Structure 1
């Protein structure tokens, strides 16, 4: 075995650059012409939204580190200033590719399909007349033009708002004019057309038509759109906060006014105007992104919902109700779960089963208590409404609502208040920790005594994202899982100290140690010549201790396959260190979100599901769950899922040693898109209820009752 160098920074990939490579893989889906046109637009919106969040949080955090004089090197040996320089260059290249793809490809494809985003010079007289009326009756009353001069200071520009800046001739020195494009009216409107084509116009282009009228009496030297991104990395002192809910509400307001970390601006704007904005916003040149064309493509997520273009989208898919529930789940979900463990592979299997489970529990006279963790829920959640109904029906309902779930804080605060008013016992998260585990416990008083039903998942209790996030759920009445679930909720609510669990492993208590033990066990088996293998699927790999254990296992001869959707700081293919490690990433129609961990274990295979990624925050700063899959039939199905991902040669990208990704070469193999395969397999191979009942029924001699049966 080689001695693995764990101190050489070259053996690791910078976290931020790895994330940018992930977003580039999403950008490739924009460029991938086999994707339907509207799906390409949707991916474009995702790329833009991802970059917004990246600058707001990750770049914002690095900015803070520099301001504080923090110069510690990261896992790849880069200090914050070096990271920012590389980020700005890579992000600029990505944004240029994004806009080039729209300008030279997608805009033409839209036109070919009769969809036109018009400019002023392209308007007919009829369309101009329509816009004149629309502007005067709808737009003008909302606008607030601002002039910045000696008597009026530069205003606070709202984070991510689109604005128009102008230089106005006034006396000897030009003055600055500002006009926010009102988001309340939407980013675009549909305008009349003389034929069957669909014509739209962006709100900023409408407003630009009337700038001289808006700034009446001023000579406009130049004008153009700009947009800023502010540092939104929230900081609040939990130790000092008497009321965490109020503390977070207060911090949310500050998010709108953090320091500017990026400015997007039209490339044809006068240099004097750019310099004036840079000065007022206190932003360096490297944080200015000159855009050739439309600023901010996030509006395309709403444009995707425009009616009448289903032919330009993925074909609609309906999630399957597992056959066990098809005829009975309306009446008694618990009867079915009491017989066997249930596997849900979402979104191929329907999340409705989980919703129905809570809705039935809310009405069931036998149900005594419901306990659940909520991290991210939808804006109109049927789950929360069911919990409210359960409390109103006299059930004991305990809900941990994680108020610190980034960008869902406001939504979760509202739900927490709603649940409290209904009589639920609401826990606002834990001091110093985010509760990220996904668990539901229902306690039922049955004829045989108290029985506990447990739902465990790799993903959130969100009925909306459940339709396009891939996750795996286990529903069980196994008493050992039920006992662990009760103990976990008692720990969360503060009633008991940590106790040894039957099946669960919990972060931040012992999850890191368990992962390391499982990896080391494979390494020990490899050293003595035994077969050793690890397959792990998750979202991000950042934790250095875990990476180092994987390096040592690889050097010992363990075959390691990692399916990592996003960030991966591990560098594969290094001689003597990671030559036995292969890393792929799958970007497709659905967001890969499931966390699965497989260890060969000398033939006594171990398979786990988890809410946790291999990141320091998951292992040290969050309440996470790792739980085993013990039902052999379910274990085989999940192993098949893993191997299908590894065979993907359509949507899989392979991580190269230099940190870039390459498409998996198909060669002579049949193309396999794992996400399409799962959908087709679930629908083609599902058995009828009669077939399942026949398989489960014990053999018995059956007398002939009718002549026709002979």
Structure 2
């Protein structure tokens, strides 16, 4: 049997990061946004090394030789990744030095080294070093009695080659992450000038090593394997995860970054101390660790060099002129499109529930929340007010484990019932249930979403949430929470589709139905928006649907292992990726269904982990008005020709050809539509009589 065309997921991910890097190169983007995109590529790459590259390295170490679906063994994949990532990081620094830094200089913004500074600035440096930096620094000598220190993952360090009493030796100084990576200097002629902290440390090394001669200094940075191994059978899952987090800091090195100008002796010393494959050593132009640029772009005074902000409307048109969110939901189902419509609507739903004397219970799943979460505060308030509050906090949310442990403890202390997820499964579904005593009955109000209950990311992630109090959804929500909090068997849901028991079968049957409809000459078509498309069974069925003539439109932001446009295989499949001001995060699925289209939303991507190893929720949009709105959301994204890139059958991505087309930035257009919807409601009715404002003392 011939192998199915399948693009390797790791290589596809690097392609995605290239698309983000393209935004940093784009001269039409504001300079601080270009800097931000460059920072995002660095942050993305850190996580990719800590998890995905680390996994491939472990496979190679364990002598695992089986080919994956793309035909690559771990060894071959690692070779391809090393070549591709080395080229990628060279492009990152080309972007920084050849494009971004010259553009900053034109705006009189620059990073200086001490030899470029005047006396006032050098004096400022000395004062800062003496009063702030010096007390924080810890120089660590490395010799037979003092071993090489255990360096924290992703920490920036300086290796120093010294000579004392005629003998050479080495030392390491960590650049303190508690302090800002950059320091703004006294201004010269209205310019804004900065120095990086590592350059200040190197400038002042003589004050740290007074008894030695400094021969050379080189910044370096190490990335470690950080994929947690958790024993989910442990009696105390919280304690087990806390223990695993500590191990993460001691994981095997998977990448070493150092400057190209590092002297040979210092480089040899580092390679001797840090045991790492040669092809995982990255010698860079510098500065190392470009993630700091994101905070730099946020500095006061740089706002004019950023995108015009997308201001969320509040309240959204769907909730206009309602005193109570519950009143609005009782009237009809409601949809909120973030961040164009404010996430405050969801926060206020929980806040009102916390204070409403008729609310009896609140149940919610939490996957990732912000550092100062108003949702958590409202849940705590609800518990203090005597409501029955149940919260499932997913402790296994990667890189948010510590934050979630902190919140879980605070919720427990406030009297909430806290569940730490399910053994063997991550709980990734986004659902909130409020049980309320209304005048006519006990009613369940449900919020279901495509994104996390995180007020911070909701400002920059596009997501959709739906509110309903229809009984079938309320019954399903109660059943789902019973599965999550007890030992209930997965039920037969009325409306909801829940992984891992039924979501795969649902998607497979829907794709097969479209294939059958095409063969029977009925209206057919599939449109799906996901973050990643990896699952081989779904891809195989999409290929079969294409071969039957089903038109398939896929909006895949990140990894896409399906290859579109292959003659006889996928020629009816189109894949676009939208990378823009906001991060596309919503998951939406439309099936033409023989002429009666159905549309669904939810938390699940088309990945094996989402369909088989997570609790995921997908729900139908049934209200006719909301269905039409959801169709319009997909159509507008498919018309984007500014943020969108199309995937070719060679796996390359190219910008949509705009010749002869009206420019369309779907994110800006969604913002305009949200603003216009509210503006229409603000216009007074011209047929109403004008109402004079009278004095309180006026005699009626």
Q: What is the TM-score of this pair, normalised by structure 2?
A: 0.96
Give the equivalent residue in structure 2 for 1:413: 405
Return the alpha-carbon distance in structure 2 between the equivalents of residues 638 and 658 of structure 1.
32
Q: Quickly say closer, same or farther: Cα 1:476–1:85, change in 2 above 3 A.
A: same
Pair 1:8-2:14 in alignment: no
Tell me whether 58-67 or 410-419 shows the greater mean CA deviation.
58-67
Give the equivalent residue in structure 1 for 2:282: 289
Give the equivalent residue in structure 1 for 2:530: 538
Return the alpha-carbon distance in structure 2 between the equivalents of residues 282 and 592 of structure 1.
39
Give the equivalent residue in structure 2 for 1:683: 675
Give the equivalent residue in structure 1 for 2:491: 499
Give the equivalent residue in structure 2 for 1:153: 147
Pair 1:277-2:270 in alignment: yes
Give the equivalent residue in structure 1 for 2:541: 549
Return the alpha-carbon distance in structure 2 between the equivalents of residues 526 and 170 of structure 1.
81
Give the equivalent residue in structure 2 for 1:190: 184
Q: Which ranges of structure 2 fall in alignment gaps of 5 or more residues?
A: 692-700
Tell me whether 352-361 or 172-181 shows the greater mean CA deviation.
172-181
Instruction: Answer whether contact 2:522 2:595 (CA < 8 A) is retained.
Output: no
Tell me whether 133-142 or 122-131 shows the greater mean CA deviation.
133-142
Give the equivalent residue in structure 2 for 1:346: 338
Of 525, 528, 531 in structure 1, the residue corresponding to residue 520 of structure 2 is 528
Give the equivalent residue in structure 2 for 1:123: 117
Instruction: Answer whether contact 1:341 1:631 (CA < 8 A) is retained.
Output: yes
Give the equivalent residue in structure 2 for 1:260: 253
Q: 1:381-439 CA deviation, whole Å, 9 max, x = no partner?
A: 00001000101101001100000000110010011001111111100000000000000
Return the alpha-carbon distance in structure 2 between the equivalents of residues 28 and 228 of structure 1.
26
Report 1:123-142 matches (<5 A).
Answer: 123-142=117-136
Q: Structure 1 residue 175: deviation in Å? A: 2.1
Report 1:364-379 matches (<5 A).
Answer: 364-379=356-371
Give the equivalent residue in structure 2 for 1:699: none
Q: 1:530-582 CA deviation, whole Å, 9 max, x = no partner?
A: 23100000100110000000011111111101000000000111111111111
Report 1:461-476 matches (<5 A).
Answer: 461-476=453-468
Instruction: Answer whether contact 2:164 2:211 (CA < 8 A) is retained.
Output: no
Q: Structure 1 residue 151: deviation in Å? A: 2.1
Return the alpha-carbon distance in structure 1 between the equivalents of residues 182 and 447 of structure 2.
43
Return the alpha-carbon distance in structure 1 between the equivalents of residues 562 and 685 of structure 2.
48
Give the equivalent residue in structure 1 for 2:697: none
Of 31, 56, 63 in structure 2, the residue corresponding to residue 62 of structure 1 is 56
Return the alpha-carbon distance in structure 1 between the equivalents of residues 548 and 200 of structure 2.
65
Give the superposed CA RMSD. Answer: 1.9
Give the equivalent residue in structure 1 for 2:634: 642
Q: 1:70-101 CA deviation, whole Å, 9 max, x = no partner?
A: 22221201111111111111111111111111
Report 1:154-303 matches (<5 A).
Answer: 154-169=148-163, 174-239=168-233, 241-303=234-296
Aligned residues: 690
Of 373, 390, 397 in structure 2, the residue corresponding to residue 398 of structure 1 is 390
Instruction: Answer whether contact 1:103 1:293 (CA < 8 A) is retained.
Output: no
Return the alpha-carbon distance in structure 2 between the equivalents of residues 125 and 215 of structure 1.
24
Return the alpha-carbon distance in structure 2 between the equivalents of residues 285 and 111 of structure 1.
36
Instruction: Answer whether contact 1:13 1:76 (CA < 8 A) is retained.
Output: yes
Give the equivalent residue in structure 1 for 2:696: none
Q: 1:309-362 CA deviation, whole Å, 9 max, x = no partner?
A: 21101113321121242333xx31101110011111111011111111110100
Return the alpha-carbon distance in structure 2 between the equivalents of residues 639 and 705 of structure 1.
40
Q: Quickly say closer, same or farther: Cα 1:446–1:93, change in 2 above 3 A.
A: same
Return the alpha-carbon distance in structure 2 between the equivalents of residues 704 and 423 of structure 1.
53
Tell me whether 274-283 or 395-404 shows the greater mean CA deviation.
274-283
Of 580, 587, 607 in structure 2, the residue corresponding to residue 615 of structure 1 is 607
Give the equivalent residue in structure 2 for 1:697: none
Give the equivalent residue in structure 2 for 1:336: 328
Q: Quickly say closer, same or farther: Cα 1:66–1:316, change in 2 above 3 A.
A: same
Return the alpha-carbon distance in structure 2 between the equivalents of residues 394 and 69 of structure 1.
57
Q: Structure 1 residue 183: deviation in Å? A: 1.3
Tell me whether 189-198 or 582-591 shows the greater mean CA deviation.
189-198
Instruction: Answer whether contact 1:650 1:664 (CA < 8 A) is retained.
Output: yes
Pair 1:592-2:587 in alignment: no
Q: Structure 1 residue 172: deviation in Å? A: 7.5
Return the alpha-carbon distance in structure 1 between the equivalents of residues 136 and 526 of structure 2.
59
Q: Quickly say closer, same or farther: Cα 1:643–1:354, change in 2 above 3 A.
A: same
Return the alpha-carbon distance in structure 2 between the equivalents of residues 46 and 667 of structure 1.
30
Return the alpha-carbon distance in structure 1 between the equivalents of residues 473 and 93 of structure 2.
51
Q: Quickly say closer, same or farther: Cα 1:703–1:129, change in 2 above 3 A.
A: closer
Q: Quickly say closer, same or farther: Cα 1:292–1:115, change in 2 above 3 A.
A: same
Q: Structure 1 residue 276: deviation in Å? A: 2.1
SS in 2 for 1:298: helix
SS in 2 for 1:666: coil
Give the equivalent residue in structure 2 for 1:38: 32
Return the alpha-carbon distance in structure 1 between the equivalents of residues 231 and 302 of structure 2.
49
Q: 1:14-68 CA deviation, whole Å, 9 max, x = no partner?
A: 0000000001100011001111111111111111000000000101111222222
SS in 2 for 1:597: strand
Q: Which ranges of structure 1 fall in alignment gaps of 5 or more residues?
A: 695-701
Structure 1 moving runs of 4+ over 6 Å = 690-694, 702-706
Q: 1:429-453 CA deviation, whole Å, 9 max, x = no partner?
A: 0000000000000001111111110
Of 662, 666, 670 in structure 2, the residue corresponding to residue 674 of structure 1 is 666
Q: Structure 1 residue 692: deviation in Å? A: 11
Return the alpha-carbon distance in structure 1 between the equivalents of residues 317 and 6 of structure 2.
46
Return the alpha-carbon distance in structure 2 between the equivalents of residues 691 and 609 of structure 1.
33
Report 1:642-661 matches (<5 A).
Answer: 642-661=634-653
Instruction: Answer whether contact 1:324 1:689 (CA < 8 A) is retained.
Output: no
SS in 2 for 1:307: coil
